[in-house]
């Protein structure tokens, strides 16, 4: 068994590889074998961390949502509503 730190690194590596591969083709077209090859691990290793393609796609979507939330949270923390006429104008400033 890998220490937890190594498990986290492998999981992160798989998600990073999926994100990189998705830049060249639709994520739905990427096979688990392509993902394994791109990450330098076996197909079995991918399945040890994610039970299915759906699981890894869900994990990637959650990670991207966390990054978006953090970005939005930082932006709103650095901007005050009093500097804008209303929430719509504030949101327009973000997007």
Helix (H, G, I), strand (E, B) or coil at 15: helix
CA distance 84 to 2: 51
What's the pLDDT at 69?
Answer: 85
pLDDT digits (tens, 9 = 90+) for 43-84: 999 999 999 999 999 999 999 899 888 888 887 788 776 666
Beta-carbon contacts of residue 14 (< 8 Å; ≥ 6 apart): 35, 39, 41, 46, 49, 50, 56
């Amino acid at each position: 068994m890998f220490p937890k730190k190594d498990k986290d690194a492998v999981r992160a590596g798989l998600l990073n590889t999926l994100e990189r591969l998705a830049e060249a083709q639709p994520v739905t077209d990427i096979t688990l074998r392509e993902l394994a090859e791109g990450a330098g691990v076996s197909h079995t290793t991918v399945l040890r961390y994610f039970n299915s393609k759906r699981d890894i796609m869900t994990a990637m979507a959650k990670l991207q949502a966390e990054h978006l939330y953090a970005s939005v949270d930082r932006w709103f923390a650095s901007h005050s509503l009093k500097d804008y006429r209303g929430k719509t104008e504030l949101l327009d400033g973000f997007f």
